[in-house]
């Protein structure tokens, strides 16, 4: 356990220290970086606009290096503003600072738009000749990623308009959604709860509490459904307009291109999971309904703890120990990097009013370090969330050496380290448990987490696909969105779950639909990939951990085929997804065996 945690009480939850980025919103450092970035961006445009074709390889490498430095400064400013805002979305001054930095950064970065557009106009043979320079060759993966967007690139004037209007368009609607959700209060048993708290009550041991929480969630969402419908319609139409101008064939295509994954690979994943619904979620929830002595399980019992489950609250210090022990059993290096998050104030875990719900690990910039946000409630699932986000954080630390332009991993691979961290933690805890009842409870919890990550996220993807397709035909009414939600949920979760009209509103609180359209399939991609990767690890000889850390350290400098090749895995192989899904299936098999033997 870290020294900081040893000094505070075992259950005191940490809050992060953003001074590592800037000492305060009104600090001279913030003002200086804004001023310096603006001056450097203006000078950069004067020095390079219209001149890239005439540069040598080494000169072009120097230009990219200058561009990267400016972008990193802007990234540091935006990270600071976003992180402050995520911990208090109801404070108007915090919101104003976030908006002002976003407007400043957007204005400065508009000066740089010409650069990637002009890079993409370079002749292939000319660029190939320039890439013979070793300094420029280092940026080859980034250049290839930029040039993949060439067929969808607009004129500089249009690109600049889209860029500058982002703060009053998509970003403004995102902010409206976030601040609305953060301000909502959900009544339960005489208390006013935040979104994170009411969602936590859906896993409470008492069924009456779970049902009341579900009804409260539905009631408050329904009161705000008109607003959430307008946000969804506006953002879907905004995307459709831009996709049309760029000539993307499908709403998901732009996300796939950004994820450096082919449309057919994503389609193969979706079809594999969809065809596995009966073997996975349908079968598991039928089993769970039987454990609860019912023919059908009410939706508020979907994530209920099993009747025999111990509801003991896990203190923060104990959660830290569990996760770092599991990481250390796999690789001391993994645990050493992970420990820094606890000892150096890189985690904010305290659930409080105004704070963003859910969890994330924000990479900030290579010159700083990542920050983890979560809302720790002391459940086993929270320990797994900690393991998940710490996986992201360690990945981001290891990849930082690639530099600002190539440190970030495509979303399809960004979930690898997080899900692998969960699996390490779960398997470590399972190995230490010999009691059949406890093993059953742990396996059931893991299966539910995997179903939430794979089946539920693919059903979310199906919801988004239908919504965006139908939005191209016209605005969707609240009831139409609710109908699509029910259609995709019932298909994915199966006949052993029962729903009432209150569940129809639950689509409206999913933030990924608003913030990052078509993000959600990346979770299923990552889970299936990790299941296959963990199977290789179990059979591997010495050296697996080293290859795994090398994969994480590659960041965005390699594509999924290159990264998975050392493990003899290929996500473009249709059989690949079956391997990953078979791991979930085998766990349900074991639960059925345990059920008959007890």
Q: What is the 3-state secondary structure (H, E, C) of 233-247?
A: HHHHHHHHHHHHHHC
Strands 191-193, 186-188: pairing kind: antiparallel
The H or E element spanning position 497 is strand 497-498
Alpha carbon distance 446, 449 (integer Å): 5
For residue range 152-166, list pLDDT tens digits in order. Answer: 999 999 999 999 999
Alpha carbon distance 189, 206 (integer Å): 13
Predicted local distance difference test score (pLDDT) of residue 4 = 44
Residue with tokens 């329904």: 222
For residue range 82-103, list pLDDT tens digits in order. Answer: 999 999 999 999 999 999 999 9
> Would you say 444 and 288 are in contact if contact means Cβ atoms under 8 Å apart?
yes
pLDDT mean over 252-277: 93
Q: Would the pLDDT of 41 be above 70?
A: yes
Which of 269, 321, 331, 253 is closest to 551 using CA atoms? 331
pLDDT mean over 111-138: 96
Of 51-55, 63-67, 409-413, 465-469, least confident by mean pLDDT is 409-413
Q: Would the pLDDT of 426 be above 60?
A: yes
For residue range 330-356, list pLDDT tens digits in order. Answer: 999 999 999 999 999 999 999 999 999
Predicted local distance difference test score (pLDDT) of residue 247 = 96
Which of 233, 215, 224 is closest to 179 using CA atoms? 224
User: Residue 433: what are its φ and ψ, rounded to 5°?
Assistant: -110, 125
Of 8-22, 205-219, 536-550, least confident by mean pLDDT is 8-22
Predicted local distance difference test score (pLDDT) of residue 311 = 66
Q: Mapping DSSP to helix (H, G, I), strand (E, B) and coil, where does residue 544 land?
A: helix
**DSSP annotation of 586:** H
CA 446 to chain CA mean position, Å: 19
Predicted local distance difference test score (pLDDT) of residue 86 = 96
Alpha carbon distance 112, 22 (integer Å): 24
Predicted local distance difference test score (pLDDT) of residue 485 = 98
Counting residues of the chain whose pLDDT is more than 90, the rounded percentage is 82
pLDDT mean over 8-20: 81
Alpha carbon distance 416, 554 (integer Å): 13
Q: Would the pLDDT of 2 be above 70?
A: no
Predicted local distance difference test score (pLDDT) of residue 10 = 52
**DSSP-assigned states of every residue in 135-161:** HHHTTHHHHHHHHTTGGG---HHHHHH
User: Residue 196: what are its φ and ψ, rounded to 5°?
Assistant: -60, -40
Predicted local distance difference test score (pLDDT) of residue 598 = 60
Q: Would the pLDDT of 266 be above 50?
A: yes
Predicted local distance difference test score (pLDDT) of residue 63 = 98
Strands 497-498, 347-348: pairing kind: unpaired
Which of 418, 410, 415 is closest to 556 using CA atoms? 410
Alpha carbon distance 557, 453 (integer Å): 26
Q: Would the pLDDT of 32 be above 90?
A: yes
Domains assigned to the chain? 22-168 (1.20.140.70), 316-434+521-597 (no CATH)
> Would you say 446 and 308 are in contact if contact means Cβ atoms under 8 Å apart?
no
User: Residue 120: what are its φ and ψ, rounded to 5°?
Assistant: -75, -15
Residue with the larger pLDDT of the pair 448 and 594: 448
Q: Would the pLDDT of 7 be above 50?
A: no
In this prediction, residue 3 has a pLDDT band, given cuts at 50, 70 and 90, of very low
Alpha carbon distance 187, 193 (integer Å): 6
**DSSP-assigned states of every residue in 228-291:** HHHHHHHHHHHHHHHHHHHT-SSTTHHHHHHTT--HHHHHHHHHHHHHHTIIIIIHHHHHHHHH
Q: Would the pLDDT of 9 be above 60?
A: no
**DSSP-assigned states of every residue in 76-128:** HHHHHHHHHHHH-TT-HHHHHHHHHHHHHHHHHHHTTHHHHHHHHTS-HHHHH
For residue 270 the two structure tokens come to 């979706």
Of 122-126, 139-143, 437-441, least confident by mean pLDDT is 437-441
In this prediction, residue 8 has a pLDDT band, given cuts at 50, 70 and 90, of very low
In this prediction, residue 5 has a pLDDT band, given cuts at 50, 70 and 90, of very low
pTM: 0.86
> Would you say 262 and 253 are in contact if contact means Cβ atoms under 8 Å apart?
no
> Would you say 214 and 497 are in contact if contact means Cβ atoms under 8 Å apart?
no
Alpha carbon distance 169, 191 (integer Å): 36
> Would you say 307 and 290 are in contact if contact means Cβ atoms under 8 Å apart?
no
For residue range 376-399, list pLDDT tens digits in order. Answer: 999 888 999 999 999 999 999 999
> Would you say 10 and 318 are in contact if contact means Cβ atoms under 8 Å apart?
yes
């Amino acid at each position: 356990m870290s020294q900081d945690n040893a000094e505070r009480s075992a259950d005191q939850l940490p809050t992060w220290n953003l001074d590592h980025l800037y000492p305060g919103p009104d600090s001279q450092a913030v003002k200086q970086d804004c001023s310096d970035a603006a001056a450097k961006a203006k000078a950069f445009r004067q020095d390079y606009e219209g001149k890239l074709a005439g540069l040598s390889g080494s000169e072009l490498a120097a230009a990219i290096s200058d561009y990267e430095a400016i972008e990193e400064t802007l990234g540091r400013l935006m990270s600071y503003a976003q992180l402050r805002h995520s911990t208090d979305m109801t404070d108007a001054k915090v919101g104003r600072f976030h908006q002002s930095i976003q407007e400043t950064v957007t204005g400065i970065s508009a000066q740089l738009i010409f650069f990637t557009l002009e890079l993409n106009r370079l002749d292939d043979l000319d660029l190939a000749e320039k890439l013979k320079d070793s300094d420029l060759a280092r940026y080859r993966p980034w250049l290839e990623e930029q040039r993949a967007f060439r067929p969808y690139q607009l004129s500089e004037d249009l690109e600049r308009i889209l860029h500058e209007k982002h703060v009053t368009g998509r970003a403004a609607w995102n902010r409206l959604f976030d601040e609305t959700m953060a301000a909502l209060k959900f009544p339960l048993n005489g208390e006013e709860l935040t979104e994170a708290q009411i969602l936590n009550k859906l896993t409470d041991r008492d069924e009456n509490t779970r049902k009341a929480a579900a009804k409260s969630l539905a009631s408050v969402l329904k009161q705000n459904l008109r607003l959430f419908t307008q946000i969804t319609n506006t953002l879907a139409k905004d995307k459709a307009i831009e996709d049309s101008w760029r000539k993307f064939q499908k709403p998901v295509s732009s996300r796939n291109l950004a994820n450096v994954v082919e449309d057919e690979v994503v389609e193969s994943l979706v079809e594999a999971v969809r065809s596995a619904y009966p073997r996975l979620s349908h079968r598991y929830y039928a089993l769970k309904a039987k454990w609860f002595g019912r023919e059908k399980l009410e939706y508020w019992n979907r994530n209920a703890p099993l009747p025999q489950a111990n509801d003991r609250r896990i203190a923060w210090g104990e959660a830290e120990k569990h996760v770092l022990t599991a990481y250390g059993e796999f690789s001391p290096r993994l645990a050493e990097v992970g420990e820094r998050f606890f000892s150096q104030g890189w985690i904010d875990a305290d659930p409080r009013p105004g704070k963003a719900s859910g969890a994330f690990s924000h990479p900030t910039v290579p010159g700083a370090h990542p920050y983890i946000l979560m809302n720790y409630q002391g459940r086993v699932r929270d320990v797994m969330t900690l393991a998940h986000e710490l996986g992201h954080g360690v990945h981001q630390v290891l990849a930082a050496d690639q530099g600002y332009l190539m440190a970030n991993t495509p979303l399809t691979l960004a979930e690898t380290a997080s899900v692998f961290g969960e699996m390490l933690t779960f398997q470590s805890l399972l190995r230490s448990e010999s009691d059949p009842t406890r093993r059953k409870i742990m396996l059931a919890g893991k299966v539910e987490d995997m179903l939430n990550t794979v089946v539920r996220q693919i059903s979310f993807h199906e919801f988004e696909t239908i919504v965006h397709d139908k939005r191209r035909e016209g605005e969707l009414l609240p009831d139409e969105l609710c109908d699509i939600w029910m259609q995709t949920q019932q298909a994915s979760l199966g006949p052993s779950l029962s729903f009432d009209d209150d569940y129809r509103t639950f689509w409206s609180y999913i933030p990924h639909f608003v913030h990052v359209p078509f993000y959600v399939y990346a979770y299923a991609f990552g889970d299936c990939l990790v299941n296959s990767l963990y199977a290789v690890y179990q059979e591997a000889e010495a050296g697996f951990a080293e290859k795994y850390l090398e994969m994480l350290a590659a960041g965005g400098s390699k594509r999924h085929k290159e990264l998975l090749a050392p493990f003899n895995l290929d996500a473009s192989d249709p059989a690949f997804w079956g391997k990953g899904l078979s791991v979930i299936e085998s766990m349900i098999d074991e639960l059925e065996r345990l059920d008959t033997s007890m």
